[in-house]
Amino acid sequence: MANIELTQLKGIGPSIVNKLNLIGIFNLRDLCFHLPFGYQDRTKISNISDLQPGDEKLIKVQILSAQTIYRPRKMMVLKSADLYSNINIRFFYFHPAQTKQLKAGTDLLCYGKVSLSRYGLEMIHPEYEVISNDHELKEKKLTPIYRVPKGIGQKKIRGFIQAAISKLDFEEDFLDVEKYDASLNMKIIDALQIIHNPEADIDINEMLPGGSHPARVRLLKEEMIAFQAGMAFLKRKQKRHHAYSLSKESEWTAEVKSNFPFKLTGAQARVVIEIKEDLAQEVPMMRLVQGDVGSGKTVVGALAAALALDSSFQVAFMAPTTLLAEQHFISFKSFFKKQKEKISLLTGSTSSSQRKKVLEGLKDSKIKLLVGTHALFQKSVEFSNLALIIIDEQHRFGVNQRLALRKKNDSEKSAPHQLTLTATPIPRTLSMSVYANMDVSVIDELPPDRKPIQTSCLPLSGKEKLIERIAATIKKGSKAYWICPLIEESENLDLNAVMETHEDLSEHFGQDKVGCLHGKLSAIKKQEQVQAFKDSKTSILVSTTVVEVGVDIPDADIMVIENAERFGLAQLHQLRGRIGRGTKESFCILLHKDKIQDVSSQRLQVLVDSQDGFKIAEEDLVIRGPGEIMGAQQTGIVPMKYTNLVRDSQYLMETKRVAESICNKEPELANQLIERWISGSIAFADA
């Protein structure tokens, strides 16, 4: 019943189906469980005199005058008023029909955010309706706000959700979870009705994420139970697979040990022992190695690879970007100098002749270690005996991509071992749920000669003086990264920022001293820019966040990040990790707007106060939720529909117990719950 197709609803054709699919809605049940992230109160009209900047309210006004202004840009300004006070309504985008419609004397109902300009209170681009003077409000309940794809408005999705709820038979779709958890004493249909149509007198804060309204708790607990049941099934399924035991230590292992110039830290040595124990087993290893930036995860990966290579099997090492894959390729060739003919690189920019050579070498087992990007997933890439997959920064890959790589092993009877490396510290509460199907190791120690990075905040008005200071230190042999402001999700705009900054700094330091790195450069050009910086031909490298992971220049000692307030804390920490890799004292300067909000200031202060990636990640999760950190957009596992694993962590242990109990006693009920909430994404979580 729940899998009724979307096209059964009036107004949904193939084009709308495609758009809904983009946000994970594939059937009517998915529509019912597409839950609001906020609410608007359109049930009562506010007086303009009661409004405060930042309020989102409904007002009823009459237009006093309407004019189109052309400076500094084209806009339409409606001077408006109610019985008590005035407000300006401003539109930057409007069409001729609106200028005819919105004339002096017209009554409007407007809903929008109130701001304060030098001309007084205003609403910019409110939702509005032309009304008669004696208009009566239709809204009797709070208005839910949903995540929507481009091309589908809030009004439309509300209609689809209401139609889906009335069409689905929830008595037939009833899952008796209550007998396992007495606190789930509200029917699911009642909880959904309250969440999608709350009464006007309900406290909005109780309904919002983090609130404790019974309907909200009912839904999030069931979702957590479903998620944890999925993870429990996954762990059992993995144990049924067979893998090759990899325990031989010979030439490849000896090579890494002799070519690695440092002694392993205690944490690295401990993690290597844990990996060795896993690889010796005949069930597939699923291990996540977390290590802060610069903690030495790559050598741990190389030692794991050596065990598979010494046992005469092949290894695939996967990195999220061409630049990072190339850096790892260079590292592996330095670890395995005598074996470097058996190591190859495959990325999207590999030439067709070289690609052909690599594919042949893989098939006839001449290539033992293949480093690459998503190019490793292509069907034409065939290994002869793949036994270990190492994935760097797993959350940057889509689930289906990882699944495709898992299936590269030619044997139906065995599955490859999998080792995941990440510099994104994941707090324990999160990893025990999201990575419940994996064993987790932590490299919680940096090499002994590392000095703490001195981090400071500086308003943009101090930029010129900063450039002067950097010029003085460069004369003494310093090297600086200059990370350009993140403008928005547009490569072209970010590219403009890089080019402008490059030109600006070139005027100060000279064209030949300033390198430039961004996503639109070819792989060869990127490598050339990195190499010139490494060889000290350039002293400053202007870049987008493409340097965030993998660019390793030990003597770079300055990192400037412009508009730091626009970046996530985890990303700032990753960027900072590009310096402080040698024995020199290093400096990270967070350039920010002259006036920033208190919350932005607090976030940047976390970075100034701490070098600990785990502490920073905890703060980042509290501020932004787990979605971005876990690569949610790719995995489909997080963000969940309703749960934030950090904010709602108080329910983790009890829902885990309930989930395990359901899996043991009623596996079919567990399957139905997973189907209801997760729609199959959990099946790919081990990919």
First-to-final CA distance of the chain: 30
Residue 496 sits at the vertex; the CA angle it makes with 293 and 394, to the nearest 5 degrees, is 30
For residue 415, the SS3 value is coil
* pLDDT (0 to 100) of residue 404: 54
For residue 94, the SS3 value is coil
**Would you tell me which CATH number, out of the four given (2.60.120.200, 2.40.50.140, 3.90.1150.10, 1.10.260.40), belongs to the domain 48-131?**
2.40.50.140
Q: What is the pLDDT of residues 119-153, one digit of tens each?
A: 899 999 998 999 987 788 888 899 999 989 888 98
Q: What is the pLDDT of residues 259-307, one digit of tens each?
A: 987 889 999 999 999 999 999 999 999 898 988 777 888 899 999 999 9
Answer whether residue 313 shows pLDDT above 80: yes
Residue among 57, 54, 55 nearest 42 (CA): 57
**Stretch 618-637: mean pLDDT:** 49
Residue 511 sits at the vertex; the CA angle it makes with 506 and 512, to the nearest 5 degrees, is 135
Confidence grade of residue 183 (pLDDT, cut at 50, 70, 90): confident
Q: Would you kindly state where each structural domain of the chain is located, as residue ranges?
A: 6-40+157-202, 48-131, 251-443, 454-610
Q: Using DSSP bridges, classify how beta strands 386-392 and 514-517 pair: parallel, antiparallel or unpaired.
A: unpaired
**Stretch 115-122: mean pLDDT:** 89
Q: Which residues contact 91 (CB under 8 A, 6 or more apart)?
A: 75, 76, 78, 98, 124, 125
Q: What is the pLDDT of residues 436-469, one digit of tens each?
A: 677 888 888 877 777 889 999 999 899 999 999 9
* pLDDT (0 to 100) of residue 548: 56
Confidence grade of residue 86 (pLDDT, cut at 50, 70, 90): very high
Average pLDDT, the chain: 84
For residue 129, the SS3 value is strand
Answer whether residue 110 shows pLDDT above 80: yes
Eight-state DSSP code of residue 82 = -
| Alpha-carbon gap, residue 485 to 564, rounded angstroms | 7
Q: Which residue has the higher pLDDT, 163 or 433?
A: 163
Q: What is the pLDDT of residues 18-75, one digit of tens each?
A: 999 888 888 888 898 888 888 988 999 999 999 999 889 999 999 999 999 887 788 9
Query: What tokens were used for 370?
Result: 């293949």
Q: What percent of the chain has pLDDT over 90?
A: 39
For residue 674, the SS3 value is helix
* pLDDT (0 to 100) of residue 638: 42
**Max avg pLDDT among 466-475, 645-654, 678-687:** 466-475
Q: Do domains 48-131 and 454-610 have the same CATH topology?
A: no
C-beta neighbour count of 396 within 10 angstroms: 19
**Stretch 219-243: mean pLDDT:** 84
Query: What tokens were used for 459?
Result: 């308003």
What sections of 372-438 are H helices per DSSP? Answer: 399-406, 428-434
According to DSSP, the residues that pair with 287 across neighbouring strands are 419, 439
* pLDDT (0 to 100) of residue 627: 44
Hey, what CATH class is 251-443 in?
Answer: alpha beta
Q: For the ranges 113-127, 406-420, 498-512, 548-562, which has the lowest average pLDDT?
A: 406-420
Q: For the ranges 306-315, 335-344, 561-570, which has the lowest average pLDDT?
A: 561-570
Q: Which helix (H) or strand (E) holds 464?
A: helix 463-475
Q: For the ranges 4-8, 170-174, 279-283, which has the lowest average pLDDT?
A: 170-174
Q: What is the pLDDT of residues 151-166, one digit of tens each?
A: 898 989 999 999 998 8
Please state which architecture CATH assigns to domain 454-610. Answer: 3-Layer(aba) Sandwich (3.40)
Answer whether residue 488 shows pLDDT above 90: no
* pLDDT (0 to 100) of residue 686: 45
Answer whether residue 499 shows pLDDT above 80: yes
Answer whether residue 624 shows pLDDT above 70: no
